[in-house]
A and B are shown apart, each in its own frame.
Chain A
Amino acid sequence: MEALDTLILSRIQFAANISFHILFPTITIALGWVLFFFRIRFTQTGDDKWMAAYRFWVKIFALSFAMGVVSGITMSFQFGTNWPGFMETVGNIAGPLLAYEVLTAFFLEAVFVGIMLFGFSRVPRWLHTLATGLVAFGTTVSAFWIIVLNSWMHTPQGFEMIDGVAHATDWWAIIFNPSMPYRFVHMLMASFLTVAFLIAGVSAFRWALGDRSREVRTMLKTGVVIGAVLIPLQMLAGDKHGLNTLEYQPAKVAAMEGNWDTQPNVPLILFALPDEEARENRFEIGIPNMASLILTHSFDGVVPGLNEFVTEDGQVLHPPVAPVFWSFRVMIGVGVSMLLLSWAALWFMWRRRDQHVGRTQGHRLAVEGLPKILVWALIPMAFSGWAATLAGWYTTEIGRQPWLVQGVMTTDMAIADVPAPMVLGTLLTYLAVYAALLAAYIGVIIYMARKAAKGDDAHTAVPIHATGAMTAAE
């Protein structure tokens, strides 16, 4: 009984840590590239609105980066403190992948972020741009390695088990395991969408506060355009990812669809309360045959059901249904609202393009065209990417249960022998610290947006010319 308590508490603790952690890399991966874009546009055009945008977002980048680093360190220690069985069993695979992440990404990010944040007046312009690019590159490389490891846990290959310990036989197969390309693309786009809506939302907030500066227009347009372009692509990538999951982890897809029996003509369920006791859905509302169509591209395609993953002696080898089912729907719901909002915003800005205010004429988008209601709708969307990303990760991670490494080891095999009260105590402390930090983080972003909207951000007032001395702001 105690082992179970430690298990469930450790799972909650790991889930809490990794949920908190993922929020910040999700921002820094794409925000790094967006900053690189701002930096290059400034070099190209010499227009200081790009530098003003850079300055505003680089602070949020710095804050997010620090949050990501410290919560990431926590993660790396938790493998040992709570889940020693994981490394003891698959350490020969996971170890090198994590080591490569530290070696090729962490140091790169950590060193150049110092130059990026504080080196503007100390280094040549090209080096500052390069540092910004290298930080963005580092965050992406870091995402690559961790996604490789995570994907390998879903679709393991390229190894053999000797005395209960995994040994690598083919690194190429391990790195390019079947779900990795899908997951990596899906996560990168999730990051860009999160940042797109964060930028659009914060800029909309500044706009609503009466900020009519040129950089706020540019930022808002950048956010909306990135969002509008990527959201359909993301839906396509998600669909491909789902088909890949159907092939390798059918139990997860069955839980996502809330489908109990393997059968043809499966409806796409919009709402249901999955009941694992009775092994059926209650209050089910669905569109006939749609799930079959989406998953098999045929109206009467056969879709695997959850009951297939219960062994004859009653052991359940499929994930808990309700959390997977609902996380999936939250992700889809947020995605659809992103699509509707970004396209609506794009359309209105395009329709009133003649109202464009700015240096250059003939622009194709004008923020003036946005109806007030759309501006207000964009503001709460600032953190919508977080909701979708978390929901997506819950779908895939809870969907892997009861396996820790699909088909190789179950989660309870990895647990540490730590007393439950100790895990509970640390868990509560983590939760308190994370809640406080999250509140502080969002609070500071709101405060910075207000300050910038009032125009008393010291830096925006200083004129910078691309041709002038880079020490102008010193």
Chain B
Amino acid sequence: MPDFSNPHDWLPWAFASLMGLSILIYVVLDGFDLGVGLLFPMADRTEQDRMIGSIGPFWDANETWLVLAVGLLLVAFPPAHGVILSTLYLPVFVMLIGLILRGVAFEFRAKARDHHKALWNRLFFVGSAMTALSQGFMLGLYIMGLEKSLATYAFATLTAISLTVGYSFIGSTWLIHKTEGMLQQKSVVWARRSLWGAVTGVLTVSIATPMVSDRIFAKWFTFPELLWLVPLPILSGVVLFALWRLLQQMPKPQDRQNWLPFAMSTALFVMAYLGLAYSFYPYVVPEKLTIYDAAAAPESLWIILVGALCVVPVIIGYSILAYFIFRGKATDLRYE
């Protein structure tokens, strides 16, 4: 824990926590709507409209968490921002093109003439896939310490696929919650299939991360820290097993517990994320720059922190309001 009497010590820590929190919220929230985009080609036309309906009111705000995360990296750790983003130049570029295609396809598909709709549908999928794959690729390179070699690229390719499957998984659990009938049954099947991909991904990352760095290995496998850490994998295993059983029984009569798969997959994402965060703390550029080396001047961090503490609760408040307003089963979207 940081020393709260010394701003040079706790301010970077506070900002790393804020940034970590917004990345986590981003991964879960945009994760499910990217996932819905990834599942797009497997649905028919009416189902696609319904799938869009399930994420339409949310995707924009979900993506804003990415802007906040990269913004915090930019403002709180400027040198790290430069190093990370110029090293990841190409995957970032692919992600941006993906985000552009996906975001506009969303709007265009609803407004373009009918024979163009198929094109925008395809671009919606392509954009979602580019975004998910490049994010997974960047995750892999980050875990590998941003080193560029054939082995790290191979690993990054693996994480790219895993994260993409992981997003499809959380996306299908979202659809189980938001849809009904045939589409819901399809979503259950998608969830069952993609669950294994997600598990493989988490396992690979969990095994690879301590292998890459002695420091991370030491952080996990020393006494007494081990005692505190053991519950994390055990709990993940329990949730995973429960989720697997649950998906066998879905959808339940009267559509009971339709929200549970999404809640459990969110829990899985959170635990995997916490594990990663623990491994890399206090580094913001793995093994090169700590959050303390990279932090911006305290007077600038102060003014952002004051703003963030006032505004973030309000943001969370009205975000919850939006999810509340659009609760229940999705309908086809109409501008009205």
Which A residues contact B (CB, under 8 angstroms)? 55, 58-59, 62-63, 65-67, 69-74, 76-77, 79-82, 84-85, 87-88, 91-96, 98-100, 102-104, 106-108, 110-115, 117-123, 165, 167-168, 171, 416-418, 422, 426, 429-430, 433, 437, 440, 444, 447-448, 459, 473-474
Interface centre among B96, B97, B334 (most CB of A within 10 A): B96
- Cα distance A146–B336 when bound, in Å? 31
With contacts A55-B336, A98-B71 taken as known, whether A66 is within 8 angstroms of B85 at the C-beta atoms is no
Partner of B99, one of A73, A81, A95, A429: A73
> What's the nearest-Cβ distance from chain A to residue B106, in Å?
6
Task: Supply 20 A–B pairs (Cβ within 8 Å), ascending by A.
Answer: A63-B104, A63-B107, A67-B104, A70-B99, A70-B104, A74-B96, A77-B96, A80-B86, A81-B93, A84-B85, A87-B78, A88-B79, A94-B75, A103-B308, A103-B315, A106-B67, A114-B326, A121-B336, A171-B303, A422-B90
- Cα distance A88–B307 when bound, in Å? 22
9 nearest interchain CB pairs? A84-B82, A95-B75, A80-B85, A114-B57, A91-B78, A70-B103, A110-B61, A92-B300, A87-B78
Which B residues contact A (CB, under 8 angstroms)? 56-58, 60-61, 63-64, 66-68, 70-76, 78-79, 81-86, 88-90, 92-93, 96-97, 99-104, 106-108, 111-113, 296-297, 299-300, 303-304, 307-308, 311-312, 315, 318-319, 321-322, 325-326, 333-336
Total cross-chain contacts (CB, 8 A): 223
Interface centre among A62, A103, A418 (most CB of B within 10 A): A103
Interface centre among A71, A93, A95, A444 (most CB of B within 10 A): A95
Contact residues in A for B90 (Cβ distance below 8 Å)? 422, 426
- Interface contact A447-B307, CB-CB below 8 Å: no
B68 nearest in chain A by CB position: A102
- Interface contact B71-A76, CB-CB below 8 Å: yes
With contacts A103-B311, A104-B307 taken as known, whether A418 is within 8 angstroms of B78 at the C-beta atoms is no
- Interface contact A429-B335, CB-CB below 8 Å: no
> What's the nearest-Cβ distance from chain A to residue B15, in Å?
10
- Interface contact B311-A95, CB-CB below 8 Å: no
- Interface contact B336-A459, CB-CB below 8 Å: yes
The B contact surface, by secondary structure, is helix
Partner of A55, one of B56, B88, B304, B335: B335
With contacts A59-B335, A76-B74, A95-B296 taken as known, whether A107 is within 8 angstroms of B307 at the C-beta atoms is no
A462 nearest in chain B by CB position: B336
- 6 more A-B residue pairs beyond the given contacts A107-B68, A108-B315, A426-B89, with a C-beta to C-beta distance below 8 A: A76-B71, A80-B74, A92-B300, A93-B300, A99-B72, A107-B64
- Interface contact A99-B308, CB-CB below 8 Å: yes
- Interface contact B334-A433, CB-CB below 8 Å: no
- Interface contact A77-B70, CB-CB below 8 Å: yes
- Cα distance A427–B39 when bound, in Å? 30
With contacts A69-B60, A103-B315 taken as known, whether A92 is within 8 angstroms of B82 at the C-beta atoms is no
Partner of B325, one of A82, A108, A115, A448: A115
> What's the nearest-Cβ distance from chain B to residue A457, in Å?
11
With contacts A100-B307, A104-B307 taken as known, whether A448 is within 8 angstroms of B92 at the C-beta atoms is no
Interface centre among B61, B113, B308, B321 (most CB of A within 10 A): B61
Partner of A120, one of B79, B101, B336: B336
- Cα distance A417–B82 when bound, in Å? 10
With contacts A84-B86, A102-B67, A111-B318 taken as known, whether A429 is within 8 angstroms of B78 at the C-beta atoms is no
> What's the nearest-Cβ distance from chain B to residue A417, in Å?
7
Partner of A66, one of B78, B103, B112: B103
With contacts A76-B67, A433-B100 taken as known, whether A444 is within 8 angstroms of B112 at the C-beta atoms is yes
